[in-house]
Structure 1
């Protein structure tokens, strides 16, 4: 994201916070809660249980694929690309913990097995919740 776009986001966040009398700081945007995974699924699918199951399955399949690619990445570019893809997937489904783990992976060294294990563990928890 370029600086102009981020500046616009921070500006709008500041305006919103001033309307509700909250302190304004430029890093608070990272602390926003996008909602729980199950809540996001329910909001997207409503009462349609089949659609919830299909969306959950699509998320799990995509996340498994990205985690596998992340685990096999050894160069900085591939590692970073997989981290960004994983974070984008997590953001689109409201999986805030996975977003944090993707950020942690991006900050770490390519091929870091610890963060890959954390991601696999998180995904298995989502699978068990199905």
Structure 2
């Protein structure tokens, strides 16, 4: 089963390789950094939009081995997918629209990327 999260403000992703990333005057060449992706860290804040995502994420986080398949959709860029370990999970209720969350995920296996 795959869990798709829709992060709001404050989301960030870190892509790490076993070697230094090439850079250009404009910054890191992200397309080259995706080739040979070794690990990925993702953190973000959001709100649960349906009734299944909240209990699913909570179940994963509370397991002895908190690992599940996740998809991270980056609008106008692409989708990362793979097996991730829930490093941290926090719930809040700062809005009337529903329960908010803050999550940090670490890749546990190969991460795939499909551009938008």
The two structures share one fold, judged by TM-score above 0.5: no
Q: With the length of structure 2 as denominator, give the TM-score of the two structures.
A: 0.30
Q: Which has the higher contact order (CA 8 A, sep 6+)?
A: 2
Q: Which has the higher strand share?
A: 2
Larger radius of gyration: 1
Q: With the length of structure 1 as denominator, give the TM-score of the two structures.
A: 0.28
